[in-house]
Amino acid sequence: MTHTFNLNARSIRLVASHNGKQYKMYTGLKIDPALWHRDAKSLPAKCKDRSVWEKLRLIHLRCSEKEGYVEDDADVVRIMSYAIDGKMPPRDAPSLRLSFWEYFKEWSERDSTQARQRRLCYNNIARLMGTAFDWDDVDSAFHFRLVQKMQDEGFAINYQWKMVSQLKTVMNEGRKLKYHANLEFQDFKTKREEVDAVYLTKDEVELLWGYKPKGELDRKARDLFLLGVYSCARFSDYSRLTTDMIHDGVIRFVQVKTSESVLVPASPRLLSILERNGGRAPRLAQQHLNEQIKKICKAVGIVDIVEITKSIGARHEHLQVPKWSMVTSHTARRSGIQLLYLTGITLQQVMLISGHKDEDSIRHYLRLTKEENVTLLRDNPFFK
C-alpha cells in the first residue's frame, strides 16, 4: 500500500493504492488552493497553513506506520480510517458505517411531511446518476454532472435547487454521524429563481370564510387552509395545531423545519376552526389539500388571470393562468404574511410571527401592488 494526498476544490483527500486499485477518503480538512503546492503529496512539507500541515503530517505518519500490514482490500480502508480518525476498526468487527445509498434510502423513507419529495429526490438521483458511488464520490464534478442532467431533463430551476439542497442535507447528516469526512458538498451552489407565487387578498379570504362546503373533504380543505392563513405558518406546522398549544390567547409551537419557537396571537376565527374540528387541525394530506383548495377557490370565484414565468431547464415560459390554479397549501402562509404586513406593522414584527431569520427571506413573500403600496404610505409623515 502506498499513499498520497490531493486537493479536490478546497478539500484534501487521502489517496491510497494497493494491487492496482485506488481508494479515496476525505480527510475533513480544507485549505485555500493558494496555500497548497503540487509537490505537497506524501508529506505536505510545503503546505503553508501550519495547522493543516500538522494534521496532514499526523495522517501521513499513521499511514506509514500501518501500510506494511495490508493483507486485503478491507485492510486498506481500515488503515485509511485509522490514519484520519486515530481509531483502528477491529478486523472482525461488524461495520457500523452505512453506505451513502443505505443512508439515503433510510432518509427518504422517514415519516415526514416531506416524505413524497424525499422519495422523488432519492429516485431522481438514482435514475440520473446511477448508484455506483459512495459518500466520497459526491464532489464538485458530481454536482456539475447532476445539474447538467437535471437541465437536460427539463427540471424547473427551483426544483433543481430543491434536489441539491436535499442532497446536501443527506451529506451533512452523514458527516455528523461520521460516515464520511467529505466537506466538498458544502460548496455546492445551484440557482434559485424568484417565483411568481400568488397570495389571496383580504376579500378573497373572506370568500373562503363564507364558503358553504359541499362535503367533508371540502370542509376539511377550507378549514385547514384558513388555519394556515390565520397562523402564517407552514403546512408542517399549521396542520398539527391543537387547542393545547394555546395559552392566554397565544399559540405557542416549535417549527418543524427550523426547530425555532414561535408565538402567534390566536384569532377568534382560528379558535372557531379548531373548535369545530374537535380541538385540532383537520387531518388531510398536503397533496389532497393542494388538489381540493384549487377547486374551492374556483368555485368561490377566484378566477382572475395572473401572469407567471416558468423555467424548464434553461428555457423560460411566460404564461397566463387563472389564479385558482396557482393556489397551494403554501399560499395560505404567503397570504397570511402578506395581509399581516398590509395592516401596517413592521417587517421585524412580521418576521417574529413567521419565524423568518432575515429580511431577504421574508421579502420573497411580499408582493405589493401599486394600490396596496399607496394605502400603506397614505399616512406616512412624508406625505402630510
Task: Give the mean model confidence (pLDDT) for residues 139-148.
Answer: 93
Given CA atoms 153, 165, 147, 6 in this order, what sign does their dihedral have? negative
More confident residue, 137 or 34: 137
Q: What's the chain's Rg over C-alpha atoms?
A: 27
Task: Give the mean model confidence (pLDDT) for residues 133-156.
Answer: 90
At residue 40, does pLDDT exceed 50? no
At residue 312, does pLDDT exceed 60? no
Same domain, 165 and 225: no
Distance CA 384, CA 382 (A): 6
Mean pLDDT comparison of 47-56, 166-175, 195-204, highest-scoring range? 166-175
Average pLDDT over the chain, rounded to an integer: 84
More confident residue, 362 or 238: 238
Over residues 9-20, the pLDDT tens digits come to 677 888 888 888
Beta strands in 145-276 (DSSP E): 246-247, 250-254, 261-265
Given CA atoms 220, 329, 230, 252 in this order, what sign does their dihedral have? positive
Q: Which of 56, 85, 114 is the last residue of a domain?
A: 85
Distances, alpha carbon 130 to alpha carbons 142, 146, 149, in Å: 11, 11, 12
More confident residue, 144 or 159: 144
pTM given for the model = 0.57
Same domain, 246 and 376: yes
At residue 226, does pLDDT exceed 90? yes
Question: Is residue 332 a part of any domain in this protein?
Answer: yes
Same domain, 181 and 206: no
Lowest mean pLDDT across 25-34, 50-59, 177-186, 374-383: 374-383
For residue 4, give the H/E element and its range: strand 2-8
Task: Give the mean model confidence (pLDDT) for residues 322-340.
Answer: 92
What is the number of domains present in the chain? 3
Of the chain, the end-to-end C-alpha distance in Å amounts to: 81
Q: Which of 28, 58, 85 is the last residue of a domain?
A: 85
Same domain, 124 and 149: yes
pLDDT confidence band for 177 (50 / 70 / 90): confident
DSSP 134: -
Block residue for cell numbers 378573497? 204
Output the pLDDT for position 109.
78
Output the pLDDT for position 48.
75
Which structural domain, as residue segments, surrounds residue 122? Answer: 100-187
Distance CA 266, CA 248 (A): 9
The closest alpha carbon to 354, from 227, 260, 223, belongs to: 260
Same domain, 289 and 233: yes
Same domain, 225 and 332: yes
Q: Which of 187, 222, 238 is the last residue of a domain?
A: 187
Output the pLDDT for position 322.
93
Lowest mean pLDDT across 36-40, 80-84, 256-260, 334-338: 36-40
